[in-house]
């Protein structure tokens, strides 16, 4: 699931920069480390956002955003701080980090109120330049100073708009199954608080039969959505 076989060879890419810093997000703090282990289909070992069924396993931010806005260390809550501008990286792109790790960029991370809890006013200042989210396609060690390559291959991009992500997920629910709201939030890469908006949205999209509250339709089998991340498919 969202992993490349070890035997699958990827061509050389274009060097775009290096890893300037690494951090693990451990509730409620963030811990700077010199090296981390990326696990295929999961995320960074020890990070609270490691999740096999999430499109937002790793957050990458660019040093230029920090320099442009004079931000304090870890203000953007990123896992990998790159010395290139992440705003220039397109969703769907593949990055090789170090010798082995391959990341699939899914969508850009919105600057939400959660950031303001750590640095008041930062969400308004940073806007779309917060960073980009990724899944781990091939695991490996990541160290500060590792080379970053933009690979010539690409995978489907996810929309930066969470509503469009929901609209893309709902038609994938197999016939005879339902998707609980909390799982829909997980798959779409949004906080559970968004569940309160789902009933109206799924009705407007015409897929109310596919998405249900956790207590609804106990007779129907639940879909977990793992097929969304199957790159082999």
pLDDT of residue 116: 67
CA distance 69 to 4: 37
Higher pLDDT: 107 or 214? It is: 107
Q: How far apart are CA 25 and CA 32, in angstroms?
A: 9
Contacts of 117-122 with CB under 8 Å at 24 or more apart are 118/75, 118/77, 119/71, 119/72, 119/75, 122/69, 122/71, 122/75, 122/76
pLDDT band at 81 (very low <50, low <70, confident <90, very high): very high
Above 70 in pLDDT, residue 113? no
Q: 157 pLDDT exceeds 60?
A: yes
Q: What is the pLDDT of residues 15-35, one digit of tens each?
A: 999 999 999 988 778 999 999
Instruction: Give 233's pLDDT tier (boundaries 50, 70, 90).
Output: low
Query: What mean pLDDT comes out for the span 152-181?
Result: 94
Beta bridge partners of 49: none
pLDDT, mean of residues 3-25: 82
Q: Which pLDDT value is given to residue 74?
A: 87
- pLDDT bucket at 4, cuts 50 / 70 / 90: low
Percentage above 90 pLDDT, the chain: 68
Q: pLDDT value at position 183? A: 97
d(CA 88, CA 15): 14
- How much is the pLDDT for 7? 53
Q: Mean pLDDT across the stretch 168-191?
A: 95
Compare 1 and 137 and report the one with higher pLDDT: 137
| pTM of the predicted model as reported, rounded to 2 decimal places | 0.90
**Poorest-pLDDT segment among 45-59, 67-81, 160-174:** 67-81
Q: How far is CA 179 from the centre of its chain?
A: 20
């Amino acid at each position: 699931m969202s992993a490349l076989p070890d035997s699958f060879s990827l061509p050389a890419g274009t060097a775009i920069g290096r890893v300037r810093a690494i951090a693990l997000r451990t509730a409620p703090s963030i811990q700077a480390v010199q090296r981390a282990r990326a696990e295929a289909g999961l995320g960074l070992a020890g990070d609270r956002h490691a999740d096999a069924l999430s499109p937002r396993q790793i957050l990458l931010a660019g040093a230029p955003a920090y320099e442009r806005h004079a931000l304090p260390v870890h203000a953007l809550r990123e896992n990998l701080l790159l010395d290139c501008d992440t705003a220039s990286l397109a969703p769907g792109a593949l990055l090789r980090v170090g010798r082995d790790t391959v990341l699939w960029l899914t969508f850009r991370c919105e600057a939400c109120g959660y950031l303001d809890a750590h640095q008041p006013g930062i969400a308004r200042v940073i806007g779309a330049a917060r960073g980009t989210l990724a899944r781990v396609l091939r695991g490996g060690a990541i160290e500060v100073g590792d080379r970053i390559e933009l690979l010539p291959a690409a995978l489907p991009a996810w929309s930066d708009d969470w509503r469009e992500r929901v609209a893309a997920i709902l038609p994938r629910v197999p016939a005879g199954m339902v998707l609980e709201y909390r799982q829909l939030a997980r798959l779409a890469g949004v906080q559970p608080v968004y569940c309160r908006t789902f009933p109206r949205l799924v009705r407007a999209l015409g897929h109310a039969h596919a998405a249900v509250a956790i207590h609804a339709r106990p007779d129907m089998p639940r879909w977990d959505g793992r097929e969304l991340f199957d790159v082999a498919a």
